[in-house]
Amino acid sequence: MIRVVLPLHLRTLSKVDGEVQLDIGGLVTTNTILDALEARYPMLRGTIRDHETRARRPRVRFFAVEEDVTHDSPDARLPEAIATGAAPFLIIGAIAGG
């Protein structure tokens, strides 16, 4: 079971309390996680990646097992710890403020 941690505003939007658990049969990549996430929570479509191009929104980041995988290919295999659920896949709103 894949574990996904959403940022606060997307947890609110999708009415999720805590982590999301997704069952992905097959290769575990950023795109397959996001596909499964959007299938379960369609209100998240367009909030993490573009509706049409499926490109990541500029201020969204992806972390996996203490690595920033934001700029890796979204179709690249993620670490085994993500695939087994030992570690969560983190979706982060980029830091900004003042």
Partner 1 sequence: MTAIRVLVGTRKGAFILTSDAKRRKWSVEGPHFAGWEIYHVAGSPVNPDRIFASQTSSWFGQIIQRSDDGGKNWIQPGSDASVPSDNAGMPQGESNKFVYDTSDDTGKPLTTHQWYDGTQHPWEFERVWHLEPSLSDPDTVYAGVEDAALFRSTDGGVTWHELAGLRGHVSGPSWQPGAGGLCLHTIVMDPENEDRMFVAISAAGAFRTDDGGFTWKPINCGLVSEYIPEPTAEVGHCVHRIAIHPTRPHVLFMQKHWDVMRSDDAGETWHEVSGNLPSDFGFPVAVHAHEPETIYVVPIESDSLHYPPDAKLRVYRSRNGGNEWEALTEGLPQEHCYVNVLRDAMAVDTADPCGIYFGTTGGQVYASANEGDSWAPIVRDLPAVLSVEVQTLS
Residues that bind partner 1 (CB under 8 A): 7-10, 12-13, 35, 38-48, 51-52, 57, 59-60, 93-94
> What's the closest the beta carbon of residue 94 comes to partner 1, in angstroms?
7
- By C-beta, is 10 or 78 nearer to partner 1? 10
| 3-class state of residue 18 by DSSP | coil
DSSP string, 50-98: -TTT-PBPTTEEEEETTEE-TTS-TTSBPPHHHHHTSSPEEEEEPP---
- By C-beta, is 13 or 81 nearer to partner 1? 13
d(C-alpha 33, C-alpha 22), whole Å: 8
- By C-beta, is 8 or 98 nearer to partner 1? 8
> What's the closest the beta carbon of residue 81 comes to partner 1, in angstroms?
26
> What's the closest the beta carbon of residue 45 comes to partner 1, in angstroms?
4
* 97 backbone dihedrals φ, ψ, rounded to 5°: 165, -170
